[in-house]
Structure 1
Amino acid sequence: MKIFYKKLFSIILIFVFIFVFLSMIGCSAVSKNDATKDIKFSASNTTSSETKPVGNVKNDVSKELKGFDKELVNLFSARSDSYENLLPNSTELIENALIKGKISREKAAVLKVISNFDPKRLPKEYVSVEPPDTAQYDIRYLINNWNKLSKETRSEVLPYLLPIDHPQSFFNLDKKKNKSSRIKLFEEAYAAEDNKLCVQEFKHDGQKFKILYYEEKNWSEKKKQSIKNTVSYIKESIIYSWNKFKSLMKIKPSKPFIIELVELEKKLYGLEWYEEGNYRIRINILHANNEKANKSTTAHELFHAFQDEYKVGYDTPDEKWLCEATAVWAENYVYPNYNLEHAWHPRFFKTLDKERIGAGKGFEYLSYMFFYYLTDYAKTNFIRDIIKTAGQKGAKSIRPFLENNIPKLKETYSTFALYNWNWSPVDKYYDYGKITGGPSGKSFKKKIMRVEQEDKESVLLEPGAMAYYLYLFDQQDLTLQHVTITFEKSIANDKYLKRKAILKIGDKWVVEDWSSEVVKQYCRAKTDKSENIKALILVYSYANFKNKMKEPDKFRVETGKCNKEMQLSMKYDYTYKVDSFEWKAEGTLVETLEIKDHFYYVVKNSKYNFSGQGFIDGKKQIETSGSASTSITNPDIYNSLVRILKKPSTSKEGSKDIYQKYGAKENIPPQGMLMVIPPLLKEDTLKGNTTFYFPEPLRTINLAQPLPLDGISQIVALIPDLNDWNPKGINISKSIDVFKYNCPLKNIYTADLGKIAEQLDSITGIQDIDNSIKLPDSLGESFNIGGQGNINDLYSSISIINVVKDAMMPRNKTPKGTAMLKIKLNAVYTKYYGEK
């Protein structure tokens, strides 16, 4: 037993010695001539790198979804708006060290190459259980800067780039055998594991192809056959893919191919680059005898060679995106029923919030779905043209090309976003089987709406990004009868932005374009159930590939009982100044409004009171007060006044009369309009009195009717802001420059203003005073004041009255002076349909 342990200890010492020795010699055996060889490469790869999405994993939401139908339960449960946090991989650890200045760009590139090809050599601080990202772009960086690299760096990375039959290639098994056989203990073992270089050459369409791999003698016949099968698959794929690509691209690769079967990091399937004089392709031998993987990978890498013929670069994220996205697309183009590209779907669906054109962490690969949609659904195939353009004009041409060549850009891209929902009623994707998955993560938000809740969102998208908002409306709470979706503005005229809605109304799904909408309202209490909304998905798409949205599109979703009545209270203060005259008025308006069809609120009963005083040089000249009231049993647009007017949710025939009456056919603002003019119907009159304070000895004249100099008659309507509305009603506090205010309905109240004007002119005494100015001899008889007083003073007072009258009435020209109106309004919902 002691002898055994001694031998075991000796063996361990030998292994330690081997490890130290190999670490010391590393790749130092590369000759100076080989290490400094001037090589021109253009590398590319195929990977299956992906993170782990939480999407499609059911959350514990059974209690929340009680009462919902099975389809909505599955929909809500399968779509996640969060991610599973993953540990950083080697690539991220290296990149973080670079950002912090711990290592140079050159050193970072070397470490990333090692992480792909020889991860056991990585320093401990960069080791991770997560698979690394591809080092293809770092290889290109090293190759493009070869003459600038240090000798040490070139010596370290060159073995990974040399052909496998080169004596100093990392993949040369003879090199590994010879190096290891320096330890006598292992000479006999390696003799048994002798290997040979296998080469198969063939020609196709005038081009030469050479496939190389090492076969070890100790392999089983089964393994040897599996490698031979892989060689056959590669050859078949080259011939089959070549013919399809040649027809598509109108060009063919002009140099011979060297194709090598080597062992790569498991997640890496293949690499392609151009070395002066040859196209180089490497296929991962770990996936040997997998027909679909071998053929699909070969097609991918071969397509890169066709791209290279058009001189497309790999220096920028845009070029990487184009080349890798179209190469994955090419896999589907050649082998549509293999579906290996489906491995990218989980990451595709959870990165819809990102800029559509970019590279890193496999984003360029999963972006094949964009070209898959264009060719297979939008019936637009410009693969050759965009690659050719990028080769001729460079990376800066890619985004403009997409914008200029996608037909009906905004609509086509909006449909792409709609299809990416990938659920009823737009589960359109079908690629030899259903494409699974859907928006998740940051591109997706979901919420179950209860009664009297609201959700506010601000949508700000990256270039080419998409956003999805899912709302389910409580099915058990019968008091949740009213759903309102309010948008800050219409986006119909936006060149790139579009919003669509997927709704479940009753048992049916519908899709609608809501780009021009500002308000959508649904009443689930309707007996015909035509507005029984159960679910809503808002789908945003932004077809601008160059710039982020300048400002967000804001919207709000509200739920509540089905509102029937609103109690409104308004208080105002009005000040008018011209020359030495100042007019001050204040008033209140208290009303009960009945809500008709959700979008117009008519006056059911109203009480209006005001009072005002006019001063000349600080001395009171006029004083007036008045009131008006009205009450209507069954108010509607024909027998009452509309206090609040909103845009209806649909184009209803009954709304035509309302629009025509208020002159607001298509110009209703997003948040509606609030009419502030007092309610003066045909049968209504202002009740009150007016007192004129004339110069002594005329003293005062009392009139039995009021002058409604309240300041609000010329405003007519206000436009509330989005924040003025809330689930319980509306609150407004505004200061308005009356003469500068651009009223949205300034030309529609001619009848009501005419009535006020008629009432002003018919007030007993004013006409007599006007006549008295013209006929001074009759002045005393008219007012029984004995002909006393100064006619000029009297005329000045009457002129002031006329100035105030003119200021109050709308005119084509702005009146003289200044007029400010302060309004405070509070309105709350008080009754709901269905209540007794």
Structure 2
Amino acid sequence: MSKHSEISPYGNQMPGADKTKPKKKRRRGLKITIVAMLAMVAVGGGMLLAHFDVFNSGSDELAGGEMTMEEFFAQEGNTSFDLIDKAYEEGKVDKETSLVYGAYAAFGDERLPEEYRSDVMAFEANHVFAGIQENYDSFSDENKKIIDPFLKRPDEKGSWWDQRTGQLSINEENVFVKTAQASTTNSPTKNPVNTRGKVEDTIKEEYGPLDYIKAANGKIKIWYPKNGLSYELISGGKRERVVTADENQIKKRVATLKKEIEQPVDVYNKIKNLLRREPINDGQLGGDDSLDIYYISGLGNLAGATVTDNQKTIVPSSAFILINAITRKDSDVATAHEIFHAFQFAFKHNTTTDYWWEESTATWAEDYIFPTRNTEQNRLEYYLYKPTTSINKQDADLLFYYGGYLFPFYLTQPGIYQDDIIRKIWEGCGSYGSCLNSIDNNIKGGFKNHWREFTLWNYNKKPVKLYQDDGGFPDKSSAAAASVVNIKKVDSIPIKLESGLEHLSTQLFDVKNETKSEEVRQIVFKDLKDFTDKSEAAAIKAVVYPKNGDPYLDEEWTDKEKRRFCLEDPKENIDYITIIFSNGETKKKLDATNITVEAKSESCYTIDQEDKLAAKIEVAKMNPAVATTSTVDSNIKVKTEGNITEPAGKEAEYGYQAKWEAKLDYEEQWDSFNFYINPEAKLGLCTTKPGKTTHTATFKFNLSSVKEGDTFSTEVSDTAVHYDPWQGNCTVMGVTVNEQTDPIEYNDIGLGDGIIYDMKEASAKIKFPDSFAYGDKFPYRTMEPIVLEIERGED
């Protein structure tokens, strides 16, 4: 992986700077150096759009004075912009003044009042320059004059460079931009760093005439300070001229930059071949119609910029590029990023509302042009870690737009679209009214179909690691921003999207199973339609992590009313589930949503059936000598309820391969029949009354290791069998008498072995062929054997 560097605008080290400032806590990150600024700026009564970009270093051996990513994010306190915004909110300054002060802060201008200066560096000043654009016409003439020179081409008359040529730009003790470290070393390869505070040192930056060389077969002109880069240092009453790059050195740097954007990759033509057009011809601006790149110093806190020449927010327009000459390492990637901006301005679009797409695709272009460098990956987290923010949110942090390169990166992944989808989208930005609408019309199914998949890709954790990139893709995940819901006992827990969900955003929840006993047997997600019914573009994805086995690939819950997980099934005994709610609407915010997670004690797999059947009792076979009736009809009702008592083991294929307990409730009603007291003489004909047999029992059985067709034993307890007495009227010698036998009761009946068969994931069948209650063991009774069915309840 290669990263791109950018150096502090005033160099790397400042003589006499304090090296004793304690280091703050570090955070994981990459080396960076300078703040990136977004500037919506005015020139000559109209407006220009400047794009200020972060360049990241590709080497750990950076020149002194640069700040690591860890140190950058360890900064504490308010930036100058924070202080200015607070003053405006409190009514201490008016809108126009706050914007002028914001411009001073963006460029490190010495005119910024002391109370708004800060050592804390900021990444961007988007809101400041957007405000300048919006309010420029109402500015006083004085403030317009302050801002305008910064926005002209350096070779133009009246530009800030033109004004300073032949003069010394004095940055005295009130200058406020500061790097994390400084040094007293002076050499032509060590540049000074501006420091804040009352110090004795004064830096006077020197400016001079510009020269240029042609690149990309004349398509590009690179301007540079003809006399090199230097400054005058006043320290301890002594004056010293420090040359940071003499005439030959600056020429070598420019020659290197020319080579880097021409080979091994021809940056200009690679972009041209993709987009099938070139930057708008600027006529004679910059002396001819070439794309002008100004490789200069003195840009303040701007590392690079691409500025349109027209005075409107609607382009096409020609443009020019500023690159901070103090930035010496890997400037090819940064310059390629800016060149891509110049090509973008050849397409009709709105540089304000489509700004997010400008930056995301320019960052994507870093990968397209230099696929093995992976500089774009340094900005992933700025988008990934803010999933609830709309991808095209106006006035979002500039780095958020950089990180948003993930969307064009997703679109150009294998199996999604080819690289030319980027061109097709840019071509439609004008005709469809915005780049957002162009995307929606150029991808199959629009955002409705793709947004849910994109948000799943951004989860970027096993098993959903889908992005492919040369050199590998980082392990950063949108799950870093997930809210956590803990399940600890039988309960009903709401999952709330209390503020709703913005368009083109997503919200994640990690639902963790922290139950410590077998009390909770199932977890049910209910009311899913409360979210998905709000819009056809609303979707729910889930990634499931069982406690046993590999994680599932994603599950689509969009069309479900509910989703149940059976903890008795090893495959579904979840450790946690990440739920991804996404809103693929391009404008509409979805209202607040409540879904419910229920932790329940009921078993998922049950035997719950009531069988009713007819049977025949063959009385004649029971006692052929006395019976006159050959068969007696009976009606049998058998109710069986069974539940798992101990969940399936890790090796189980199915969740019902567990230990069970069932309850039997058997009842048989039989009809009357006739017999003789003296069958030989056929005397004493008796007619019985109907009667009933009941049988109750509790039985246990173990299905843990059974396979299709296996037998298993049963353990019966709490058995009770009851036969009603036989009652009848007997007629002997013309006299009728009532006869009755004693009832029969006992409790030692068994079921015999069971057989399991027709085993499926959610069901199985068992039978007990030798059982009185379920089978045909009774020799004088004919009945259809009862089959018990194990079933998993509906999800």
1:498 maps to 539
Q: Deviations over 1:287-322 (max 9, x none)?
A: 22x11xx112111211121121224332x3x22112
CA distance in 2, matches of 1:339, 1:197: 36
> Cα gap change, 1:487/1:87 in structure 2, threshold over 3 Å: closer, same or farther?
farther
Root-mean-square deviation over aligned CA pairs = 4.2
1:271 maps to 305
**Secondary structure in 1 matching 2:401:** helix
Contact 2:222 2:295 in 1 (8 A): no
Is structure 2 residue 141 aligned with structure 1 residue 151? yes
Which of the residues 110, 116, 120 maps onto 2:106? 116
> Cα gap change, 1:508/1:387 in structure 2, threshold over 3 Å: closer, same or farther?
same
> Cα gap change, 1:163/1:197 in structure 2, threshold over 3 Å: closer, same or farther?
same
Letter in 1 for 2:377: H
CA distance in 1, matches of 2:585, 2:43: 45
CA distance in 2, matches of 1:440, 1:124: 41
> Cα gap change, 1:447/1:85 in structure 2, threshold over 3 Å: closer, same or farther?
farther
Q: Matches of residues 383-532 of structure 1 in structure 2 within 5 Å?
A: 383-392=422-431, 394=433, 397-409=434-446, 410-431=448-469, 432-439=471-478, 443-459=481-497, 460-474=500-514, 477-489=517-529, 494-505=535-546, 506-510=548-552, 511-526=554-569, 529-532=570-573
Q: Matches of residues 297-696 of structure 1 in structure 2 within 5 Å?
A: 297-314=334-351, 316=352, 318-358=353-393, 359-362=395-398, 363-377=400-414, 378-379=416-417, 381-392=420-431, 394=433, 397-409=434-446, 410-431=448-469, 432-439=471-478, 443-459=481-497, 460-474=500-514, 477-489=517-529, 494-505=535-546, 506-510=548-552, 511-526=554-569, 529-550=570-591, 552=593, 554-561=594-601, 563-564=602-603, 597=605, 633-635=639-641
1:202 maps to 214
> Cα gap change, 1:139/1:531 in structure 2, threshold over 3 Å: closer, same or farther?
closer
Is structure 2 residue 259 aligned with structure 1 residue 232? no
**Secondary structure in 1 matching 2:303:** strand
Is structure 2 residue 44 aligned with structure 1 residue 38? yes
Q: Matches of residues 128-277 of structure 1 in structure 2 within 5 Å?
A: 128-135=118-125, 138-139=128-129, 142=132, 149-165=139-155, 169-171=159-161, 175=165, 177=167, 196-202=208-214, 204=216, 207=219, 209-213=221-225, 215-216=228-229, 227-236=250-259, 238-239=261-262, 240-253=266-279, 254-255=281-282, 256-263=290-297, 268-275=302-309
1:285 maps to 325
Unmatched runs of 5 consecutive residues or more in structure 2: 1-41, 57-72, 172-200, 231-240, 283-289, 311-316, 612-635, 644-653, 657-666, 670-791
Contact 2:532 2:540 in 1 (8 A): no
> Cα gap change, 1:364/1:164 in structure 2, threshold over 3 Å: closer, same or farther?
same
For residue 202 of structure 1, report the CA deviation from its aligned partner: 1.0
For residue 425 of structure 1, report the CA deviation from its aligned partner: 0.3
Contact 2:229 2:250 in 1 (8 A): no
Q: Deviations over 1:220-258 (max 9, x none)?
A: 687877644542354245542210111111111222333
CA distance in 2, matches of 1:298, 1:319: 21
TM-score normalised to the size of structure 1? 0.53
For residue 502 of structure 1, report the CA deviation from its aligned partner: 0.8
> Cα gap change, 1:37/1:45 in structure 2, threshold over 3 Å: closer, same or farther?
closer
> Cα gap change, 1:206/1:216 in structure 2, threshold over 3 Å: closer, same or farther?
closer
CA distance in 1, matches of 2:479, 2:79: 22
> Cα gap change, 1:321/1:86 in structure 2, threshold over 3 Å: closer, same or farther?
farther
CA distance in 2, matches of 1:287, 1:85: 23
CA distance in 2, matches of 1:601, 1:520: 22
CA distance in 1, matches of 2:203, 2:382: 47
For residue 133 of structure 1, report the CA deviation from its aligned partner: 4.7
Contact 1:44 1:136 in 2 (8 A): no
Q: Percent identity?
A: 21
Contact 1:89 1:128 in 2 (8 A): yes
For residue 192 of structure 1, report the CA deviation from its aligned partner: 12
For residue 636 of structure 1, report the CA deviation from its aligned partner: 8.5
> Cα gap change, 1:634/1:190 in structure 2, threshold over 3 Å: closer, same or farther?
closer
Which is worse superposed, 148-157 or 485-494? 485-494
Which of the residues 80, 86, 95 maps onto 2:85? 95
For residue 437 of structure 1, report the CA deviation from its aligned partner: 1.4
> Cα gap change, 1:268/1:360 in structure 2, threshold over 3 Å: closer, same or farther?
farther
Contact 2:87 2:93 in 1 (8 A): yes
Contact 2:213 2:221 in 1 (8 A): yes
For residue 206 of structure 1, report the CA deviation from its aligned partner: 5.4
> Cα gap change, 1:631/1:325 in structure 2, threshold over 3 Å: closer, same or farther?
same
> Cα gap change, 1:230/1:486 in structure 2, threshold over 3 Å: closer, same or farther?
farther
For residue 468 of structure 1, report the CA deviation from its aligned partner: 1.2
> Cα gap change, 1:287/1:633 in structure 2, threshold over 3 Å: closer, same or farther?
same
Contact 1:503 1:536 in 2 (8 A): yes
**Secondary structure in 1 matching 2:425:** helix
Higher helix share: 1
> Cα gap change, 1:484/1:153 in structure 2, threshold over 3 Å: closer, same or farther?
same
Letter in 2 for 1:261: Y
Q: Deviations over 1:337-377 (max 9, x none)?
A: 22222221121111111112123221322211111111125
> Cα gap change, 1:137/1:471 in structure 2, threshold over 3 Å: closer, same or farther?
closer
> Cα gap change, 1:481/1:235 in structure 2, threshold over 3 Å: closer, same or farther?
same
For residue 446 of structure 1, report the CA deviation from its aligned partner: 2.0
Contact 2:507 2:582 in 1 (8 A): yes
For residue 436 of structure 1, report the CA deviation from its aligned partner: 3.0
CA distance in 2, matches of 1:492, 1:143: 40
For residue 434 of structure 1, report the CA deviation from its aligned partner: 2.2
> Cα gap change, 1:99/1:287 in structure 2, threshold over 3 Å: closer, same or farther?
same
For residue 167 of structure 1, report the CA deviation from its aligned partner: 7.3
Contact 1:90 1:128 in 2 (8 A): yes
For residue 179 of structure 1, report the CA deviation from its aligned partner: 6.9
Contact 2:525 2:563 in 1 (8 A): yes
> Cα gap change, 1:128/1:636 in structure 2, threshold over 3 Å: closer, same or farther?
same
CA distance in 2, matches of 1:339, 1:38: 39
Is structure 2 residue 115 aligned with structure 1 residue 125? yes
CA distance in 1, matches of 2:401, 2:169: 40
> Cα gap change, 1:124/1:560 in structure 2, threshold over 3 Å: closer, same or farther?
farther
CA distance in 2, matches of 1:125, 1:536: 49
CA distance in 2, matches of 1:390, 1:278: 17
Unmatched runs of 5 consecutive residues or more in structure 1: 1-35, 51-82, 182-188, 565-595, 605-629, 638-651, 655-680, 684-832
